[in-house]
Amino acid sequence: MTLKVIVRSIRTLSYVGGYKKIKDRPIKLYCAALVGAGYMAYNQHKKNTAEMKEIIQLSNYMAEPITPVDQLEKNRDDMKTQMELLIMRIQAEFCRALEKEEDEDAKFKVDRWMRKEGGGGITCVLQDGRVFEKAGVNISVVSGKLPPAAVQQMRSRGKKLENSELPFFAAGVSAVIHPRNPMVPTIHFNYRYFEVQDKDGVQWWFGGGTDLTPYYLDEQDAQHFHLTLKHACDEHDTAYYPKFKKWCDDYFSIPHRGERRGVGGIFFDDVDYPSQQEAFKFVTSCAEAVVPSYIPIVKKHKDAAYGYYERQWQLVRRGRYVEFNLIYDRGTKFGLHTPDARYESILMSLPLNAKWEYMHEIKPNSPEAELMKVLKQPRDWLNIEKGQSQAQRSTA
Amino acid sequence: MTLKVIVRSIRTLSYVGGYKKIKDRPIKLYCAALVGAGYMAYNQHKKNTAEMKEIIQLSNYMAEPITPVDQLEKNRDDMKTQMELLIMRIQAEFCRALEKEEDEDAKFKVDRWMRKEGGGGITCVLQDGRVFEKAGVNISVVSGKLPPAAVQQMRSRGKKLENSELPFFAAGVSAVIHPRNPMVPTIHFNYRYFEVQDKDGVQWWFGGGTDLTPYYLDEQDAQHFHLTLKHACDEHDTAYYPKFKKWCDDYFSIPHRGERRGVGGIFFDDVDYPSQQEAFKFVTSCAEAVVPSYIPIVKKHKDAAYGYYERQWQLVRRGRYVEFNLIYDRGTKFGLHTPDARYESILMSLPLNAKWEYMHEIKPNSPEAELMKVLKQPRDWLNIEKGQSQAQRSTA
């Protein structure tokens, strides 16, 4: 099958590119990057997936691609095709990795849906599992005409566009995983590619991010998570991680509570540099870093002991998650206000259960208070500003 | 004590006014209004509270008024004083009525809070009772300067105001009651008074409404509820109920789901007619109709049998309640975006527990499907349009 070959070649190219970039850097930086659990997990995962690519075929995806296969074959060099294949692969790899942590009978339910205006998506949800209370992994590949209000919204995000109906294309993968055990954090990630056509031609950009929301703080988890993301960024530009880490802290904020949603990660938008291929490779690295950033944390805590009190605290924090998603999250708001939106796919990010206690109070110096300190004041997990990795110190 | 006298005289006046209006109407209308359980309950309650007024004193309120007592005494004829005393009384009467339905040890927790910019509020919450899972009854009496953005928001609601910082006053009572038993509906009400001062003088208006959100449909409940509200409206203007019933259906809508929040009730804003005193009496009637519209429904169902399935459905519907409040409710959004807002009082409306199931499905012809029909297509509960009350027919 020809598609198999395309998929292989795209992935081979992207890996070769990724490794090459690391090798181009000064040896000192490369060695520094080797330190820490995050890198090892990330590297092992890259090796595994590099081996995996040999057996990639259509049946490895969660469902048929949204774009007909013959069209994908015809436009194999188009970024739209590359992005669709990337998000299909990331979705499948992440779903399989999550299922491995679950009991045997807990599997993702797969809904492939088409959109009247053009395109569609694949929504995968695993609900009420032993390990995952609700896990949603969604891809969408949509096109059509952007209404002027939506164009206006994009303009305010730094893109200069005409204020009239414009043809657009958007492809993205997004996931929110709410585990059952309060000792396992929630993860969210989203990677997306946009094209808008105006009279000057096609404008394109990437956006995305990965962030972690623990209920109980484990500093080593946070360091591992951030270090894994940092390595994915550093392969492309060492300026990326500090910049996108701060962007993440600023974005996932609940202003009325004066707190962040979690311990952060990375977040970026409007990435149209240094070139389309380089930007795609950067997004690929980030998306590939999801499994190694998160699965080790799931393995570590999924069988941890907890009681009623910890569960209640988790549910209260999930209420905050709902507040952020419904009041502030641009993606959710934009999605729900789009006519003909598939709201079930947008709202799959909400937890299965959440709680709102009036004036919920936590004990001073408790594990809950420890978490709140970090949510009130984001931390520099890798001591980037002081020029020395905290992880390095702790392993020294 | 002088305040006692003020309170008595205000209440006597308002009752006399209310009854007089009914008597002025043609006898036929008056008789028609007598029919139905709603009216009887409402009338009985009015009689009770009319008797109650003899023993009203400061200690009957949930806490000290927000405005110092000597200031209230000095400005006894000011609408600001009248409204503050009304909402204090409504809060206390409603809280006491709810406590009567509860086990003895379940009492409202009372928080009196002051606002840096001016004014404050009294938040009463009863949480985790046997009958009420979460009941919040809040009053606030606030004043200060409205930022231009808030002025702008008010202008868009029909008020013509200058676009600069303006002195304002707002007093209101609002409540959301989430019972534990899925057979008992959730009720929400809110009655408020605004003053804004611009170069042409003081502009004032009232707003408010009461609406019901059942988890299982009981048509008699819905009829009783609407009839009680209709009587409160009809005392003032027979055009009010149909107009404000429709406004309620339109307002409590969840567009992305294509459904209403519940079976409606009444909702209005910008009421500055026919005169300040008449508008106040109208709002008083509506606020006094809350107890007789709701408490009989609580009594009727609070010991009804239910199981796991009914509880799960209630939790899923509560998720929809959260969606409405956080995404669409103007009051919540406006409140949370106000600097120095007491978010705990704004968010006390959220249920103690809520659920989001991906692709939740209900069985055709089930009691859940019965409810959904009404949420998709609001019903004319009193057959106003056909000129005959459905309640009349059913009691004939």
List, for residues A172-205, the tens digit of each pLDDT value. Answer: 999 999 999 999 999 999 999 999 998 889 999 9
Alpha helices in chain A (DSSP H): 2-24, 27-34, 37-52, 69-74, 79-101, 148-155, 219-234, 240-251, 276-288, 290-301, 308-323, 330-336, 343-346, 367-376, 390-395
Residue B213 CB-density burial (10 A; 0-12 exposed, 13-18 middle, 19+ buried): buried
Judge whether B111 is closer than 8 Å to chain A, CB to CB: yes
**Given B323, B341, B353, which is nearest A326 (Cβ)?**
B323
Residue A310's pLDDT band (cuts 50, 70, 90)? very high
pLDDT-based confidence at residue A19 (cuts at 50, 70, 90): very low
Can you give the pLDDT at residue A17? Answer: 31
Predicted local confidence at residue B30, as pLDDT: 35
Lowest mean pLDDT among A362-366, A371-375, B152-156, B336-340: B152-156
Query: Number of residue pairs across A and B with CB atoms under 8 Å?
Result: 81
Q: Does A330 touch chain B (CB under 8 A)?
A: no
Contacts of A372 (CB under 8 A, 6+ apart): A259, A362
- Between the CA of residue B173 and those of A11, A305, B210, what are the distances in Å? 61, 44, 11
More confident site: B245 or A330: B245
pLDDT score of A384: 80
| Cβ atoms B208, B190 nearer than 8 A | yes
Q: Is B202 on the interface with A (CB under 8 A)?
A: no
Q: Which two tokens stand for residue B107?
A: 């009492």
Q: How many residues are recorded in chain A?
A: 396
Residue A6 CB neighbours (<10 A): 19
Q: What mean pLDDT is predicted for residues A284-294?
A: 98
pLDDT given at position A199: 86
CA distances from A258 to A327, A377, B121 (A): 14, 9, 21
Count the neighbouring beta carbons within 10 Å of the beta carbon of residue A342: 21
Give the pLDDT confidence of A40-93 residue by residue, as tens digits.
666 666 655 544 443 336 778 999 999 999 999 899 899 999 999 999 999 999
Using the Cβ of A316 and the Cβ atoms of chain B, whether some distance falls under 8 Å is answered with no
Does residue B359 belong to the interface with chain A, where contact is any CB pair within 8 Å? yes
Backbone φ, ψ for residue B350 (5° rounding): -75, 145
Measured between CB atoms, which of A336, A350, A357 is closest to B256?
A336
Q: Based on the number of CB atoms within 10 Å of its own CB, is B373 exposed (0-12), middle (13-18) or buried (19 or more)?
A: exposed
pLDDT of residue B150: 72
Over pLDDT 90: what percentage of chain A? 70
Kindly determine whether residue A343 and residue B319, on different chains, have CB atoms separated by under 8 Å. Answer: no
Mean pLDDT of chain B, nearest integer: 85
Domains and CATH numbers, chain B: 51-386 (3.40.1500.10)
B115 secondary structure, DSSP code: -
Rounded to 5 degrees, what are φ and ψ at A303?
Answer: -110, 15
**Which H or E element spans position A203?**
strand A201-213
pLDDT below 70 — which residues of chain B?
1-57, 152-159, 386-396
* Selected residue with higher pLDDT from B87 and A11: B87
Which of B 129-148 lie inside 8 A of A, CB atoms? Answer: 134, 136
- Tell me if residue B188 is catalytic: yes
Quote the pLDDT of residue A39.
58
> How far off is chain B from A65, nearest CA to CA, in Å?
22
Catalytic residue among B45, B178, B188, B231: B188
Q: Tell me, what's the ipTM?
A: 0.84
Using 50, 70 and 90 to split pLDDT, how confident is the model at A38?
A: low
pLDDT tens-place string over residues A123-153? 999 999 999 999 999 999 999 888 777 776 6
